[in-house]
Amino acid sequence: MKWSKILISTLRESPADAEIDSHKLLVRAGLVRKVGAGLYAYLPLGMRTLRKIQQIVREEMDNAGAQEIVTPILQPSELWKTSHRWETMGANMFKLTDRAEHEFALGPTAEEVFTDIAKGLVDSYRQLPLTIYQMQWKFRDETRPRFGLMRSKEFLMKDAYSFDRDAEGADKSYWNMYKAYEKVFSRCGLKAVPVQADGGDMGDSLTHEFHVLADAGEDGIAWCEGCGYAANLERAERKALVAESSQASDALLEEVATPNARTIEEVASFLGLESNAFVKSLVYAVDGKPVMVCIPGDRDVNEVKLKRFLGAKNLALATPSEVEEATGAKAGFVGPVKPANETMRIVADISLKGATGRIVGANKDDYHLNGVNLARDTKIADYTDLTIVKSGDICPVCGKPMVIKRGIEVGQVFKLGTKYTEAFKAVYKTAELNEKTMIMGCYGIGVSRTLQAVIEQNHDKDGIIWPSSIAPYKVIVELLDPSQEEVAKVANYLETALEEAGIDTIVDDREERPGVKFKDADLIGFPVRVVVGAKGLTAGGVEIKRRDEEKSATRIVSPNKALEVIKSLL
């Protein structure tokens, strides 16, 4: 293919709204073009790579026994109301009505649609296990679209759903997809790390996220280099050091005036103590009831862990009036010692069990209590892991310190159980003709996000470094003297030979300076560059180098040997 016949437009400067390298390179290399906030058009080079990623995903899904279908983007509200997610999905869901006032959603995901299909088509145990998948555009009304394809309003996703007879079969389907995902990301040239995760609104059972570790990642990952333990910060656990030492006095309770000192930092500064001498107390509204949560002063509440532990449907920080009603004081001065609402449930982080000599809010404006013994002075109902893991925390598996890394989520596997099949009454008949509920799993890959994640993990100061498996073209032939017949003849020969060998090739036949062509080639990131010019041919051949090699690694090869060398480099 000739460069002059393709719609390619490269940029020397990065777009003003691009914050991370991969977003800058997506636009500069002419892969995508912004249409609006969180909306992108895929240009010819971008489409070639997107299709190659799709093909890898399709092959591995098919190899794993999944069957491809396609469902509508426009989904009836009745399906979402059946699962009770019409309301709980919140403002992220695009909702609309047709001329007959029927309600619809632009699909943000497809559990409901697939479950309804399984309900309608699966009747007998003989049809199970079943895994079906699609690659379809999804829509989410992101509050703040950013980072290019990473957080956009419209994105391409592969979603698969498994249906099994029993828990044992569901386990097999889950790990079957897990292994398929490892193959997908490896073939795309990604180092993707599976991490334990929280199911959120999709499901509350076993789930792993696949993350590309990168400084630009939006998600925090707790990582143990000792044993490989990895978990999203929403899910990550730590081995808590119970009753960590305090600098505060362990004397009898003592009221301490702390005027206008509301935050842990303000009170610590006022009293000249470190923040770990304090117990941070927060009041949450949990399904309409107040719950006080106590954690060490140098920690933050992990609301995902808290919600899961309490089995809550709705959880949010209490309003100022709710805080005062529950404790008798304004936020910043509340604590677990005799709050106004004596029946309010109080839960605490496991590291506070047995703690003494702590400082807590006195449930009295502008006062704190010193010398608190939590076992003696409070009615804490439960101790459990309630905080966000920090760098240096102890791994719950091997006991070594963990570090916090950043990750870009490119895929996730869920073990859903019967959450959706029970709601839809998706049942099958056993051999004895009894009805049983199908057990379900869900498996998603962000196809368009994967495209950008590859760039984030594979680039340098000059541009993209594509893995050959998904590069828009594997080889670029730089035709330096297109007007010279003999030089053009060699370039055309190489193009034909490479294409016949199944190696997609682009010939840069533009009337441009060599420096411009080389910069564009490095920016777009073609895996192998072949330079054909009059000077080189006179000297003995064509120049060949891989994109990820130094200039000194360039090989001078006769044209009839070039194909063999290029194959070895790819």
158 occurs within a structural domain: yes
Beta-strand relationship, 345-349 and 289-296: parallel
Q: What count of other Cβ atoms lies within 10 Å of the Cβ of residue 339? A: 24
Strand intervals (E) in 401-560:
403-417, 427-429, 435-437, 439-446, 459-460, 463-464, 475-479, 505-508, 528-532, 542-546, 555-557
Reduced to 3 states, what is the DSSP secondary structure of residue 100?
coil
Final residue belonging to a domain, choices 351, 384, 417: 384
Residue whose tokens read 């839809």: 424
Q: Are residues 200 and 271 in the same domain?
A: no
Final residue belonging to a domain, choices 349, 384, 419: 384
Closest CA to 49 of 174, 227, 188: 188
232 occurs within a structural domain: no
Beta-strand relationship, 555-557 and 542-546: antiparallel
Q: Are residues 379 and 419 in the same domain?
A: no
Collect the ranges in the chain with pLDDT lower than 50.
202-204, 244-247
Q: Are residues 209 and 332 in the same domain?
A: no
Cβ atoms of residues 407 and 212 within 8 Å: yes
Q: Are residues 491 and 375 in the same domain?
A: no
Q: Are residues 352 and 437 in the same domain?
A: no
- List, in order, residues 6 or more apart from 541 with CB less than 8 Å away: 556, 557, 558, 559, 561, 562
Convert 273-287 to b/e letters by CB count within 10 Å (16 or more is b).
bebbbbbbbbbbbbe
First to last CA, the chain: 19
Cβ atoms of residues 516 and 3 within 8 Å: no
Give the CA distances from residue 547 to residues 230, 346, 365, 468, 529, in Å, rounded to whole numbers and listed in that order.
32, 60, 65, 10, 7
Q: Are residues 271 and 357 in the same domain?
A: yes
Q: Are residues 59 and 26 in the same domain?
A: yes
pLDDT at 539: 83
CA angle centred on 349, ends 347 and 354, rounded to 5°:
95
CATH code for the domain of 346:
3.90.960.10
Q: Are residues 59 and 178 in the same domain?
A: yes
Give the C-alpha separation, 30 to 524, whole Å. 8
Total structural domains within the chain: 3
| Radius of gyration (C-alpha) of the chain in whole angstroms | 29
248 occurs within a structural domain: no
81 φ/ψ angles, rounded to the nearest 5 degrees: -70, -30
Strand intervals (E) in 224-327:
230-232, 254-257, 279-286, 289-296, 315-317
Give the CA distances from residue 15 to residues 24, 27, 46, 214, in Å, rounded to whole numbers and listed in that order.
6, 7, 17, 21
Reduced to 3 states, what is the DSSP secondary structure of residue 173?
helix
Cβ atoms of residues 118 and 112 within 8 Å: no
Share of the chain above pLDDT 70, in %: 97
Give the C-alpha separation, 562 to 494, whole Å. 8
CATH code for the domain of 84:
3.30.930.10
Three-state SS annotation for 449-492: HHHHHHHHHCEECCEECCCCCCCCCCEEEEECCCCCHHHHHHHH
Give the C-alpha separation, 568 to 545, whole Å. 11
246 occurs within a structural domain: no
Q: Are residues 95 and 200 in the same domain?
A: yes
367 beta partners = 257
Give the C-alpha separation, 388 to 303, whole Å. 9
Task: Tell me if the bond preceding 129 is cis, omega within 30° of 0.
Answer: yes
- At 408, the amino acid letter reads I
Cβ atoms of residues 527 and 547 within 8 Å: yes
- At 218, the amino acid letter reads E
71 occurs within a structural domain: yes
443 occurs within a structural domain: yes
Q: Are residues 380 and 481 in the same domain?
A: no
236 occurs within a structural domain: no
369 φ/ψ angles, rounded to the nearest 5 degrees: -110, 135
DSSP state of 318: P
30 occurs within a structural domain: yes
Residue whose tokens read 């470190």: 274
Cβ atoms of residues 299 and 387 within 8 Å: yes
Give the C-alpha separation, 491 to 479, whole Å. 6
- At 103, the amino acid letter reads E
Q: What count of other Cβ atoms lies within 10 Å of the Cβ of residue 103? A: 15
CATH code for the domain of 527:
3.40.50.800
Final residue belonging to a domain, choices 384, 416, 447: 384
Strand intervals (E) in 70-125:
74-76, 94-97, 103-106
| Token pair belonging to 559 | 């044209």
Q: Are residues 429 and 490 in the same domain?
A: no
Q: Are residues 83 and 208 in the same domain?
A: yes
| Structural domain for 323, as ranges | 254-384
DSSP state of 116: H
* Count of alpha carbons within 13 angstroms of residue 506, beta-carbon side: 25
Give the C-alpha separation, 198 to 177, whole Å. 18
Cβ atoms of residues 108 and 89 within 8 Å: yes
Closest CA to 441 of 180, 150, 53, 77: 180
pLDDT at 252: 72
- At 173, the amino acid letter reads S
